[in-house]
A and B are shown apart, each in its own frame.
Chain A
Amino acid sequence: MKFALFTGCVAKGATRELMLSTTKAAEGLGFEFVEMKSASCCGAGVVSEKSPLLADALNARSFSIAEKQGLDIVTICSTCQGTLKKTEAHLNESKEYKEKVNDILEDGGHQYNGKTKIKHFANILATEEGMARLKSRIKKPLTGLKVAAFYGCYVLRPSERSDFDNPDNPTGMEEIFEALGATPVYYPSRVKCCGFPIVMMNKNASLGMSGNALQDAIEHGADVVATGCPLCHLSLDSYQPEIELLQKKNQSIPILHLPQLVALALGYTPTQLGMDTHIVSTLKINQILSGSHSAAH
């Protein structure tokens, strides 16, 4: 299976371990991900604050690049996924608007025809075909690891643009965890916002949101949180020491990118997946997994 990989900015910047682990996960799964090196930033719902038309034109240009390659787009960021789907909805809602955007693209040699599908990494795995492929390639099942999903709101809401069956109560990520041999932890905050979009505007509220989500995951028995969004990862991992100070609670719960969790089960080592670069130590995961592996022998 071949996809055009829309990396997003954060996987090339502050969470380079996401890019690293995506490459490994794709390799282990036998997916061919072709990086879209000329695609621009999705705008993260921020460029559209300045100009909705500008944001849509930039994203339509990215769609056109994948269309020319004859490939569907895979995203590894919930925010990219939601933002690209929003542009797609705008373009498909109105023929006039689509023509207007295509006029803007024309001089660059691009055109949007609506032939490319946009799928988050979780959504290409959470299909019958994806699951079968995943299960057949697992080398080190994550037995004994209790994993709490943190979806990242952009892949769920508005629900009419979500690929998950029931965005208020999705099960796609948890099904992936089960296929990996891990135990999914269901908790109310898994579908909530991490607060990252307002960390520069209202830091205490932002950290309050991520802190409440972490506490909820811990209270429901999670060993680790796995997310499909690098912005959530920044909130939950990089800001965790400040969250602990603010909430006066020791949390120390490791946060993984979904491709890291998948690639662990495919047999890659934590170091190969950049897990040593996280702010919160991920050693606990190794201990749990080595415990269950040695118990199995």
Chain B
Amino acid sequence: MATFRIKRFNPEKQPEPYFEEFQLDIPHGATLLDCMNEIKWTLDGSLSYRMSCRSAICGSCAVKANGHALLACQRQGEHLLQNDDTITLEPLGNMKPIKDLVVDFTPFWDKVNKIKPYLEPKEDPPEKERHQSQEEFRLIDDSSTCIMCGACYSDCNTLEVDDNFLGPAALAKAQRFVGDSRDSKTLQRVRDLSEPGGIWDCTHCAECVERCPKPARPFDRIKEIMTVALEQGVHNNNGARHALSFTNSVKRSGTLDENRIAPESVGIFNISGLIGLIPIGLRMLLKGKIPPIFHKSIEEVDDVKRIFKELDQ
């Protein structure tokens, strides 16, 4: 017998959420969603959650199971049992619960809309369809598999502390248009996406890759947008300056010059940004933690320089 610890919430009856336990024999092969349905249909009809297709296509049934977001219809209940034969279910994170496992997706959709999730083509519509080569399509194939389930958004580490961040789903969707050979607004898109709250606020934690039930893997798509932004010359922001300073440092010495990367990232003419570095700099200096002033190259650095040259970097 398995115990389902489900976070319940009904603001009309009780202001604070609480956990309620349900006992259920998990039928062999039953998905987590099957189990939730069984609980709703036989134990408590008031349990609320979203569901529709039961086939990992519609993206409705994402919930947190044992602390991490997943599609309830895509995982077997038995596989989620913890050592004490329990499964803990909670609503998705980084969004406000409405009732039980149902959350308010409004900010999620607002952010998707913000990245202009539609093609802005180069010319007037042709009589027939616009052609893409297989190679061109492959560049946007992964991001177009996103089913907008919100699992990535739920577990995003940046969103936990900054709700201004566009988040992994909207940025993966943005890549679908940044990388589209038929779109005419690439430069404008990567400019907009380089603003605060955009690509450079992604903290590289790869939670979104881990939670994504499809090949969309948002973090990988975010990195692709970063590369396009740098190629397009959108360099006037800390994220781009950081990437360029880092790469140049490796090009010069084979290794990272930590004394240069901080001032070069904030911008060497950005007085307030540089002043902001003083407290950490002073603390490190007083403890003898400042990296060596004379930055040393690795042995055989010429071979590293050769690789940069060969790749036109």
Contacts and interface: CB of A to CB of B under 8 A. Distances in A.
A40 interface: yes
B15 interface: no
Contacts of A132: none
B306 A13 contact: no
Given A157-B207, A202-B201, A212 B243 contact: no
Nearest to B227: A49
Interface residues of B, number: 65
Contacts of B255: 9, 12, 40-41
B36 interface: no
Interface string A18-62: 000000000000000000011111011111111111100110010
A283 interface: no
A84 to B, nearest CB: 14
A39 B253 CA distance: 11
Given A58-B307, A61-B304, A108-B306, A37 B299 contact: yes
A2 interface: no
A94 B166 CA distance: 33
A54 B160 contact: no
Interface string A154-172: 1001110000000110000
A41 B254 contact: yes
Interface string B28-39: 000000000000
B56 interface: no
A57 B157 contact: no
A47 B250 contact: yes
A108 B258 CA distance: 27
Given A58-B304, A61-B303, A14 B246 contact: no
B279 interface: yes
B246 A201 contact: no
Contacts of A61: 303-304, 307
A199 to B, nearest CB: 9
A153 interface: yes
A3 to B, nearest CB: 18
Interface in B234-271: 237-239, 242-244, 246-247, 249-250, 254-256, 258, 261-262, 265-266
Interface of A: 9-10, 12-16, 37-41, 43-54, 57-58, 61, 104-105, 107-110, 153-154, 157-159, 167-168, 188, 192-193, 195, 197-198, 200-206, 208-209, 212, 238-239, 241-242, 277-279
6 contacts: A46-B243, A54-B313, A104-B307, A158-B209, A201-B237, A209-B158
